[in-house]
Amino acid sequence: MGLWLLLLLLHFHLVLCVFLPAPFNVSISSFNLEHTLSFLPGAQTPSDASFTVQVLRSRKNSWRPVAACLELKVGQMCNLTKAFKDLFDHYRARVQAVTPNKTSNWTVSGWFQPVSDTVLGPPDLSVSGCGNCLILQLRLPAATVLRQNLQLKDLYREFVFHVQRTRDATQFRLNLPYEEETVITYLQPGVEYCVTVSVTSLFNSITVPSKPQCAFTSPPSQRSSLPVVFSLVGVFSVLAFLLMGLVVYGSQLSFKLLSQRIPRTLVTHPTVSAGTCKIKCSLSHQNLL
Ligand SMILES: *[C@@H]1O[C@H](CO)[C@@H](O)[C@H](O)[C@H]1NC(C)=O
Ligand SMILES: *[C@@H]1O[C@H](CO)[C@@H](O)[C@H](O)[C@H]1NC(C)=O
Ligand SMILES: *[C@@H]1O[C@H](CO)[C@@H](O)[C@H](O)[C@H]1NC(C)=O
Ligand SMILES: *[C@@H]1O[C@H](CO)[C@@H](O)[C@H](O)[C@H]1NC(C)=O
């Protein structure tokens, strides 16, 4: 009799349970070793439903609730940074919808390993010019408190700088170890370069580059002096033209004055008539031959 009642209750419970749809798209995202679980409620989830989260460590093999994520509302995320303590362990998370008399099935995330699945953001980068060189200053992200005495910067292997000259997009790449300040020399002075930086990790993490930071190697004096040179040349050529004009006009004027003063007989060109005579003579001479 007791068994029948139990089965009946169980059946009743199942009928009630099965109706609440399970959450979906349960995924873990992670940036600079801060891990966040997100999910979507199943279709027709009642608005009074809340969601509860549990995590599994591959080394422990039992699901444990996440204290801060027992009653999440739709759209809220679960901060798993503390729950995934061991950087090198593998974890899963699962989410269930809950109403006062119903629970949904659990939806389980994929496996997640903090050290390899986190996205490593770039350090803060500032760039300034120093003549024919650039000074790159790096500031690491605020130290996330990590276990095993590791710091975020212990995960970095190298810093990859992409340097691009703005004028013609000529670019090169530098892989350097961490330095607070790095100087890139032998650049063109008075020219703008843009730099981005990203990190590479010992554990194959996914990284994102910084936004480009741009600076002139030195104040663009040559560049700004170019228009000055051009305008000076312009002014000089205008002056030269004026001068030439004056000279021509002046000479014409003096020629006119001269021709007015000199008697007409002298102005006729006796050389021309002499020349034509010469040509004519030579022609007739050739004909004779
Ligand atoms: C819950 O899971 C069981 C078995 O895994 C499945 O038969 C059932 O359809 C699921 N219920 C819902 C609402 O998805
Ligand atoms: C759920 O995840 C799938 C695959 O990751 C994606 O294509 C889809 O757009 C997501 N759905 C929503 C509503 O975000
Ligand atoms: C998540 O938790 C960590 C550790 O408690 C904290 O440093 C971080 O700011 C939290 N992130 C968010 C988005 O609240
Ligand atoms: C859930 O329980 C409440 C009272 O606790 C009741 O009013 C409501 O009708 C129940 N809902 C369903 C779907 O059984």
Give tens-digit pLDDT for 231-253: 665 666 766 766 776 666 666 65
pLDDT given for residue 268 in this prediction: 43
Instruction: Enumerate residues lining ligand 2, CB below 6 A.
Output: 25, 40
Measured from the alpha carbon of residue 13, the closest ligand is: 4
Integer Cα distance of 203 and 115 in angstroms: 7
Mutate to test the pocket of ligand 3, among 35, 78, 79 (most ligand atoms within 8 A of CB): 79
Q: What is the CA(23)–ligand 2 centre distance, in A?
A: 12
Query: CA angle, corner 212, sides to 140 and 30, nearest 5?
Result: 50
Integer Cα distance of 90 and 58 in angstroms: 5
> What CATH code is assigned to 119-220?
2.60.40.10
Equal CATH topology for 9-116 and 119-220: yes
Integer Cα distance of 93 and 89 in angstroms: 13
**Residue nearest atom 8 in ligand 3 by C-alpha distance:** 34
Integer Cα distance of 146 and 163 in angstroms: 32
**Residue nearest atom 2 in ligand 4 by C-alpha distance:** 101
Each domain of the chain, given as residue ranges in start order, spans 9-116, 119-220
Integer Cα distance of 4 and 14 in angstroms: 15
pLDDT given for residue 74 in this prediction: 93
Instruction: Tell me the average pLDDT across 156-168.
Output: 95
pTM: 0.69
Query: In the predicted model, is pLDDT for residue 210 greater than 70?
Result: yes
**Residue nearest atom 8 in ligand 4 by C-alpha distance:** 101
Using one digit for the tens of pLDDT, what is the confidence trace for 126-139? 999 999 999 999 99
Structurally, at CATH architecture level, domain 9-116 sits in: Sandwich (2.60)
Measured from the alpha carbon of residue 12, the closest ligand is: 4
